[in-house]
């Protein structure tokens, strides 16, 4: 496993996220030595679909991609739908691609990438219901456990979390990727 000591990872989400898609990658990056920071359009705390609550560390309007080494976008249909409607969240996400920084997305998490206009020419996976949206945004969609494309790590469901976590830690450990662009 890569050593992520000294790295700072943003987790962008709002209420009704898929609990394990926050808690499992969070544990993986912190176990590797990184500092995880919960960024949200919410002001105080967020609650997952299954009841996990966690305090918000930073409001998305104050967050800057330049202050982080990577981004993780957990899924959950409602969470992902609300994030893609938040201009600050979309801009924050796009800036990781502009700065060539690793991004991990799982389940419905990739939805915001269509709104951020960062999918042209990329290969990605997701929860199957997003396939058409992601293809329409210019991506090649594949049905695989985990896909890595120049610093963009994607997976389909919580069942894929072990492979997703390993690749997220690996890509963040590698740092910037020239092909990770908006």
Determine which helix (DSSP H) or strand (DSSP E) holds 70, and give its type and residue range: strand 70-73
pTM for the full predicted model: 0.97
Known catalytic residues are 107
pLDDT tens, residue by residue, 51-100: 999 999 999 999 999 999 999 999 999 999 999 999 999 999 999 999 99
pLDDT band at 176 (very low <50, low <70, confident <90, very high): confident
Domain ranges of the chain: 8-173
Architecture of domain 8-173: 3-Layer(aba) Sandwich (3.40)
CB burial of 72-95 (b: ≥16 within 10 Å; e: otherwise) equals: bbbbbbebbebbbebebbbbbbbb
Following CA atoms 108, 114, 116, 121 in sequence, which dihedral angle do they give, to the nearest 10 degrees? 120
Question: Residue with structure tokens 């796009």?
Answer: 94
pLDDT tens, residue by residue, 33-49: 999 999 999 989 999 99
- The DSSP bridge partners found for residue 70 are 9
Per-residue pLDDT, 180: 82
Distances in Å between the Cα of 105 and the Cα atoms of 6, 44, 109 are 22, 23, 5
Question: Residue with structure tokens 């919410």?
Answer: 42
Q: What percent of the chain has pLDDT over 70?
A: 100
- Give the pLDDT mean for 108-128: 97
């Amino acid at each position: 496993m890569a050593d992520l000591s000294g790295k700072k990872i943003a987790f962008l989400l709002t209420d009704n996220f898929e609990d394990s898609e926050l808690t499992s990658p969070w544990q993986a990056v912190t176990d590797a030595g990184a500092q995880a920071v919960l960024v949200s359009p919410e002001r105080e705390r967020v609650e997952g679909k299954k009841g996990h609550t966690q305090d918000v560390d930073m409001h998305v309007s104050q967050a800057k991609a330049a202050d982080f080494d990577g981004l993780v976008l957990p899924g959950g249909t409602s969470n992902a739908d609300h994030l893609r409607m938040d201009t600050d969240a979309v801009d924050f996400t796009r800036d990781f691609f502009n700065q060539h920084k690793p991004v991990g997305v799982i389940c419905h998490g990739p939805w915001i990438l269509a709104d951020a206009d960062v999918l042209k020419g990329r290969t990605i996976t997701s929860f199957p219901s997003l396939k058409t949206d992601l293809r329409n945004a210019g991506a090649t969609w594949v049905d695989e456990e985990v896909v890595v494309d120049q610093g963009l790590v994607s997976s389909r469901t919580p069942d894929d979390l072990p492979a997703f976590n390993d690749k997220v830690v690996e890509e963040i450990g590698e740092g910037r990727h020239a092909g990770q662009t908006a």
